[in-house]
Amino acid sequence: MEFIDYYKVLGIDKAASEEDIKKAYRKLARKLHPDLNPNDKNAHKNFQQVNEANEVLSDPEKRKKYDQYGKDWQHADQFEQRTQQHSQYQGGQSYTGDTDSDFSSFFESIFGGSQRTSQAKYKGQDYNAELKLNLTDIVDVQKQTLTVNGKNIRITIPAGVENGQVIRLGGHGAPGVNGGPAGDLYITFVIAPHPRFKRSGNDLYTTSTIDLYTAVLGGETTIDTLKAKLKLKVNAGTQNGTKIRVKGKGIPVYKKENETGDLYVTYEVTIPTNLTEEQKKLFTELSKLT
């Protein structure tokens, strides 16, 4: 397997923080999404590499194994188990061999060396699938059943997944060769645009119309959120285009409990039309008082 430097893929260094990784991933995911690069033959491959890098580096445990074992990080548990067994066999003495070379030898013993080519074990082919969701589908954790190559796979979808985000389900790809491990299943989430809400990160943006009288005198208005209706107070003298923030009514932060984005509402003040003569007279009198 050719080594892929996940840090280089995301354009960050090894000292990058979780926030640095998240920012780099979001920027590249938007830039390299295949839908935005229909004429680029390498777009899907590059996009998948970015998602793969994020999948590993955003997980502290996976990142630790990747930093230590490089391209063979997925077999780290097997190697550590083997060294532990070796230590026990040696009567409790610590195993002090060359980690890099020992791990390479161990990996070779799994997949076969030049003298055991016919018995080599190879990982099965990876599968790729798309799962289409609505914005309302990602405000709560949910479970869905996917059918891939005739097999039903029950998956849990964390709240807050992003459009174009990819998750990996280990062992749900094609069977391995000569007893090798099965491949993986990569699922790309495709989230359809919402008619009333625009998403930016974990925040949502929408508009709400209020009549002139409510804008001038103040009052209340009712808006829709992704889950339910919400009553908002409108301050007297609210101007057209005024934007307010409703805390905690956005999109949940991916895999972060009790963390949610905000909802930003822009008020659009409607001007009354088809006024009666009496109403026009009242507005005229009011204008003379200002």
**CATH code for the domain in which residue 161 is found:** 2.60.260
Nearest Cα neighbor of 7 from 47, 48, 66, 65 is 66
- Check residue 230 and give its pLDDT: 95
Cα within 13 Å of Cα(41), Cβ side = 0
272-287: average pLDDT: 87
Decide if 134 is inside a domain: yes
Arithmetic mean of pLDDT, 230-239: 96
- In a domain? residue 13: no
How large is the angle between the packed helices 76-89 and 99-111, nearest 10 degrees? 110
**What distance in Å separates the CA atoms of residue 144 and residue 68, rounded to the nearest whole number?**
35
The sign one gets for the Cα dihedral 147, 152, 153, 155 is positive
Give residue 30's pLDDT.
83
- Given a contact cutoff of 8 angstroms between Cβ atoms, the answer to whether 272 and 264 are in contact is no
Which amino acid is located at 134 in the chain?
N
pLDDT tens, position by position, 23-41: 999 888 888 887 777 778 7
Task: Classify residue 100: in a domain, yes or no.
Answer: no
Q: 171, exposed or middle or buried, with CB in 10 Å at 0-12, 13-18, 19+?
A: middle
pLDDT at 57: 92
What is the torsional sign of CA 56, 18, 32, 254? positive
Amino acid identity at 226: L
Concatenating the DSSP letter of every residue in 172-219 gives: -SSPPBTTPPP--EEEEEEEPPPSS-EEETTEEEEEEEEEHHHHHH-E
User: Do both 202 and 243 map to the same domain?
Assistant: yes
Is residue 149 in a domain? yes
Mean pLDDT of 117-146: 84
Where is the domain boundary, 169, 192, 215? 192
pLDDT of residue 240: 95
Write down the pTM of the prediction: 0.58
pLDDT > 70 in the chain, percent: 83
Q: Would residue 78 count as lying in a domain?
A: no
Is residue 53, in this structure, part of any structural domain at all?
no
More confident residue, 278 or 85: 278
Q: Both 167 and 230 in a single domain?
A: no
Check pLDDT > 70 for residue 106. no
Q: Is the pLDDT of residue 91 over 50?
A: no
Write down the pLDDT at residue 273.
87
Same domain membership, residue 248 and residue 219: yes
- CATH of residue 263's domain is 2.60.260.20
Confirm whether 204 is domain-assigned: yes
pLDDT of residue 190: 93
Same domain, 253 and 211: yes
What tokens were used for 60? 């502290």
Percent of the chain's residues with pLDDT above 90: 43
The mean per-residue pLDDT over the stretch 232-253 comes to 96
Count up the domains in the chain and report the number: 2
Residues 202, 171 within the same domain: no
**Looking at the domain assignment, is residue 70 inside a domain?**
no
Helix/strand/coil percent split, the chain, to 5? 40, 25, 35
The model's confidence at residue 173, banded by pLDDT at 50, 70 and 90, is confident
pLDDT at 83: 57
Of residues 43 and 230, the one with the higher pLDDT is 230
Domain range for residue 224?
198-274
In a shared domain, residues 204 and 262: yes
